[in-house]
Structure 1
Amino acid sequence: MKPRFTALLTLLVVALLGGCASQPPLRQAKDVDLARYMGTWYVIGHVPYFAEKGDVATADEYRLKPDGDIAVTYHYRKGFDAPEKTWAGKAWLPDPADTAHWKVQLVWPLRSDYVIVDLAPDYRSVLIGLPSRKLMWIMARERQLPAAEYQRLLAVAKAEGFPVDQVRKVPQRCEDLGQAGFEQP
Structure 2
Amino acid sequence: MRIRSVPTLLALTALMALAGCASQPAQMPRTVAHVDLDRYMGTWHVIANIPNFLEKGKVATADEYHRRKDGDIAITYHFRKGFDRAPDAWHGKGWLPDPKDAAHWKVRIIWPFVSDYLILALDPQYRYVMVGVPDRDLLWIMARGTTMPDDVYRQYVEQARAQGFPVDQLKRVPQTAAQVGRPGYQ
TM over 0.5: yes
Match of 1:92 among 95, 98, 113: 95
The CA distance in 2 between the partners of 1:105 and 1:36, in whole Å, is 21
After the TM superposition, which segments of 4 or more aligned residues of structure 1 sit over 2 Å from their partners? 17-21
Correspondent of 1:166 among 151, 165, 169: 169
Instruction: State the one-letter code of the partner of 1:161.
Output: G
TM-score normalised to structure 2 length: 0.87
CA RMSD of aligned residues (A): 1.5
Larger Rg: 2
**Inter-CA distance 19–61: structure 2 relative to 1 (3 Å threshold):** farther
Question: Paired residue for 1:152?
Answer: 155
Please report the TM-score for the alignment, with normalisation by the length of structure 1.
0.87
**Counterpart residue type for residue 46 of structure 2:** V
User: What is the letter of the counterpart of residue 98 of structure 1?
Assistant: D
Q: SS of the residue aligned with 2:154? A: helix
Match for 2:121 among 118, 125, 130? Answer: 118
Unaligned runs of 5+ in 2: 1-19
The equivalent residue for 2:50 is: 47
- Which structure 1 residue ranges, 5 or more long, are not aligned? 1-16
**What is the CA–CA distance in structure 1 between the aligned matches of 2:22 and 2:171, rounded to whole Å?**
24
> What residue number does 1:127 align with?
130
Larger RCO (CA within 8 A; separation ≥ 6): 1
Aligned equivalents of 2:65, 2:165: Cα separation in 1: 24
**Does 1:32 find its partner at 2:30?**
no
